[in-house]
Structure 1
Amino acid sequence: MAVASIGACLALQHHSSRRVRGTHVVLRRASQVEAVRLVSVKEGQLVVDQTNLALLMESLRASSCERVAVVSIAGALRQGKSFFLDLFARYLESSEDMLSGSLQDSQRFCWKSGMERVTDGVWACPQVFEGPGSAKTRVGILLLDTQGTYEPGASRWQNNSLLGLAGSLSSILLFNVSKQLQQDTVQDLQVAMDLLKMSCRHHGRPRPPSDSKTLTFLVRDWAHGQQLNEGQNQSPKELPMTSQEQSILESFIHSTTEGQGLGQFFESLECRTLPHPGHIDRPSWTGDAKEISDDFLVGCRGLFCTLATMASAQTGAAVTVQDFEQTLQEYIAVLNSARDLTESGTSHRQALSDVSLLSAFDRSRACYRASLYRAGALTWKARLPEILSGEVAGAKALVAEELVAAHRKAMEEAAQELRRSALFGDAWA
C-alpha cells in the first residue's frame, strides 16, 4: 500500500507562467508549486533573496509544523540532483500520483538534459511537506537544491560555501556521486565542513551540532545492484541499507580520511545506490515517465519513503520554525567571513593546511582521551587535572606507574593519529 499519509501541510498557489531559471524556460501549470531561489552568489558573497525568504517563512508559519527538517542535495554538476529532488517533491505531494502528467512540464525543481547549468545558488520549495510521523512529531519537511560543484567560473570558495551551507542546515544531506563512492568525490564536502568549523571557531561561534544529522551518500548510475522483482514497485516501503550498500560504506569509512572525518559533523552516515534511470537524458525526451527504468523508480520509491520517515522523526536535528530565518542568516554570515580567511592573502593550499591541522589536532586529542578511557584513567567529560586530584568519582585509582604508562601509550596513539590526519600541514616538519 502506498504511503497515503504523505501530503502537503501547505501548498502555495501560483498562476500559469513561464519561468526563467538561468537560461531554462519551463511552462508552469496553474496551481503548480515551484522552487524559489533562496540564496545566490553576488560579488563574492552569499546573498539571501529577502522576498523569497519572506515567502518561505510565510509558508512555514502557516503550516501546522513546529519544526522543519531540511533535506538537501549536493554534489558535482550535471549528475541528476534536481531531477531526483523533483521526483521526491512529487512523491511527498502524492505518492500514488508521483508520475502523473508530463514530468518535464510540471517541475517543482527545474532540471533538463544536457550540460547547460540550470541551478545556481540554493533553491527551496516554498512548501512544507508532511511525512508519515509528522502528525505526532510536528516536524515538516523542507527540500533544498544546491548548485553543482565544479561549475565553470565558480570559485573554490563558492563551491565550499554552498556545500557548507547545505551541510549546516540539513537534517539529512544527500551527497550525490556518480557510479562509485571514493575519496576524491567527497574531498570537497570534507573541506567545506572543515572550513565552516574553522570559521565558527575564528568568530567564537559553536559549530553546527551533529546530533541526529544524517549524511547519505547517494551513488547514482550504480551498475552492480540486484534486479527487483516484477510488481515490487507497487508497494513502496521503508528500506534499510542492503548488505552491498553497508559494505560500500564500511569500506569508505575505514579506508579514507574523509570517511572518518565527516563523522564529526554527522551522527549517522549512510550509503544508497540507484541504477541508471534509462534513456531520459536524451534531449528528445518529452517527460514521459514510462521511459524511466522500472528499477530506478522502485529504488526511488523505497528511498523516498525511508527519507520521509527519517526526516519526520528527526526532532533533534530539525530547526524550529521561528528560528529558521535566524539560523540561515547566521550561517551565511559565518560562511561569508570564511572567504576572508581563505582568500585574503592566503593560498588555497595554505587554507587547506590550516583546516587540516585544526582537524588533525581535534582528532589527536580525541584519540588521546579515548586511549585513557580504555585504560580506565578517564571518565566521560572529566578533565585530567580533576582525575589526578581525585575529584572525579568513579575514576579508576591508578598507581603512578600505571598512569604514566597509560599516558605514554595515549600520547603515542595521538601522535600517530596526528601524523596520519595532517595531510596538508607541516606539523612534523
Structure 2
Amino acid sequence: MSETIDSESLLARAGDLIDHAMRAGADAADAVVVRGRSRSVTVRLGKVEGTEASESDDFSLRVFIGKRVASVSANPGFDLKLLAERAVAMAKASPEDPFAALADPADLAKTWPDLELFDPTDVSSDDLAEAALAMEQAALDVAGVTNSSGAGASAGMGGLVLATSHGFSGAYSASRFGRSVSVIAGEGTKMERDYDFDSRLYFADLRGVDDVGRTAGERAVRRLNPRQVPTAKDVTVVFDPRMARGMAGHIASAINGASVARKTSFLRDKMGKQVLKAGLSVTDDPLIVRGSSSRPFDGEGVTGERLVMIEDGVLNHWFLSTSTARELGLHTNGRGVRGGTAVSPACTNFALEPGDVLPEDLIRSIGTGFYVTELIGHGVNMVTGEYSRGASGFWIENGELAYPVSEVTIASNLTDMFMRMTPANDIDRKFGVAAPTLAIEGMTLAGK
C-alpha cells in the first residue's frame, strides 16, 4: 500500500481535540487515531469470487476528571468541540476508577527508532488476483488434490497517531501482505482438508505463490486415510510449529497483567517461581527492525524494551500497561495496546526460545508418540490450566511419522505441560508469536 499516515494533519486534529477537552473541564486527556487501509481478493476454482477494499480512520478521546474517566469514539468529520464536551460530561457521571491514568510523563518516549515497518509497494487488485489464482493452481496440481476451498491474497496498512495533554505526540504506520490457500484431497467420505499461508510486513519477504500452494496441497494429501489410535496415557505429543505458536500464545495469555489483576490466570501467584521446564526462556521485544508486531511506542506513548519474560523457566515479568501496573502495584513496561477506547496490556514480538536439536532428531528421540498438525475446539481453561482439545496429525513409530491420525483428543494441564516441554531449533521469528516444534511428555490421548 503506497499510502502512509498523514501524521501532521491527524496529530493537529488530535491536539485540537485535546484542547477542547481541557477547556471543557478535563484534568487530562489523550486522543488516538487508528488508520486502516486494506485490499483483498479471494478466488475459487480458477475464478475470482470477491474483491474487497476498506478504509477507516477511527478517532477516540479519553478524558480524566480526578479519578473518573470516560472515552468516546467517532469517525472523520465529527465536531471536535461537541465530542470533547460529550466525553467530559460522561466522565463527570462515571464512577471513580482508582487505577486509570495517563502514563507518567517520565515514562513517555522522547525519541524512537525507525523500525522499518512500512513497505510502500503498491499491489493492485489484479496483482492480488493473479497471485491467488496461481497459488490455488499450484495446490490443485498436487497429485491427490481434488477440490479447492479457495485462495486469497491481501495487502494493507495500519497506523497509530497518539497525542496526550502532557506533551506526547507521535505516529507510525505498518504494512501487511498475506497469501493463503485451502484445498481438499480425496473423494466422498474420505476427503481431507488442509491449508497454508504466509503473512509479512514486506511484500518481497512473502513466500512464493508456488511454494504456498504446493505445501497446502501436500499437507492435504498426507492426511488421507487417517486412522484412530487406542486411548493411552503418558503419550509424548509433538506440536508442529504452527500448533506450537498456539501453545506460546497460551503462555502469553497466562502472563498478561490484566489476567493476573482479574485473577483469571493460573499463573497469577507464580511471579519469581519456575513455570517452565528449566533451561527454557521466553522473550518479548517490541523494537525488532521489521518485526511483525514491532512498535516504536505503545498505545500510551511509552517505548518498551526487550524483556526476558521467563528465564531458565522462572517467571520475571507480566505484560503491563499503566492502569494494569497501578492495580498490581507495579510499573508499566510499555505493553499498552489501544483496543477501541480502552488500553490493555499485550505482547509484542513474543518468542518461546528454541533449543538446539533438529526437529527430526527430536522426533527420532521420542520413538513412539503423536505429532499434531491441527487442533480443534477451544478446550483451554486459563483460570485452572485444564487443557483438552480435539487433534489430528501423525502417529510416530520408531522415531518416524508413520501414518495419519484423526478423531482423537489430547488432554493435560498447562501447568504440567509447561514443565515438560522440549523445544527444537526451527523457530520462525517473522511471526508475532513465534515458537519452534515442541515435544510435551506425559499427555493423555483419548482415541478409540
Same topology, TM > 0.5: no
| TM-score grouping bracket, smaller chain normalisation | under 0.3
Q: Which gives a bigger RCO, structure 1 or 2 (Cα 8 Å, sep 6+)? A: 1
Between Structure 1 and Structure 2, the one with more helix by share is: 1
Structure having the higher strand fraction is 2
For the pair shown, the structure with the greater C-alpha radius of gyration is 2
